[in-house]
Amino acid sequence: MRANHASASLVFLAAVWLALLAPASALAHCDGMDGPVVKAAQKALETGNVNLALIWIQKSDEAEIRKAFERTLAVRKLGAAAREMADLYFFETLVRVHRAGEGAPYTGLKPAGRDLGPAIPAADKAIAGGSAAALVELLTHNIRRGVETRFKHVMAAKKFAPNDVEAGRAYVKAYVEFIHYVEGLHQAGAGPAHGHAAEQHEH
């Protein structure tokens, strides 16, 4: 019973950490040339099935994407150079509309191979492999390290002389940072998911 409780706690902590990372990192992931949105666009063009791209945008934006898709298919027939330009146009359109649906600005397609840190690749690998074990281990390790590091800092700073105002202020700074960090973890775990994960289909 105790083992099950510990396992559940680790999964919860991992979910909290992933929620904290999601707003910035996930958005950075979906505008890359090797990101899931462009991959969906490539697959849609290869198969002629626009539905593979439509899942990444809001229903209200379907008409725009369908129109862009048809234009792209038509231009692709004009030759290799035209095909390359048409594909890029469709990638940019799909990513731009996807970002707009999240309330995020479009800043252009990002090159493939960017360093996205360990969490996003681990999350993608978990989905591809059907197991979140390695992902949970990674995230819980980071959470535990983050809490313990800040806690040790607070406890060390707490040992200040009553008349040492500067040392006292250093303690308060460490205390506030620790409390905000813990509060952020709690709110992320207790609140709804953020970013396109909540609005679309949990990237």
pLDDT digits (tens, 9 = 90+) for 117-127: 888 888 889 98
pTM: 0.65
> What is the predicted pLDDT for the residue at 194?
52
143-158 tens-digit pLDDT: 899 999 999 999 999 9
> What is the predicted pLDDT for the residue at 117?
85
> What is the predicted pLDDT for the residue at 28?
62
Q: Which residues are CB-neighbours of 162 under 8 A, at least 6 positions away?
A: 168
> What is the predicted pLDDT for the residue at 113?
86
Enumerate residue ranges in the chain where pLDDT < 50: 2-25, 196-203
The residue written with tokens 């040790």 in the block is: 152
> Longest C-alpha distance within the chain, in Å?
80
CA pseudo-torsion sign 6, 177, 17, 114:
negative
Listed residue (185, 7, 27, 160) closest to 102, CA to CA: 27
Number of domains in the chain: 1
> What is the predicted pLDDT for the residue at 196?
47
73 is in which domain, residue-wise?
Answer: 2-199
> What is the predicted pLDDT for the residue at 3?
47
Angstrom distance (rounded) from CA 195 to CA 148: 28
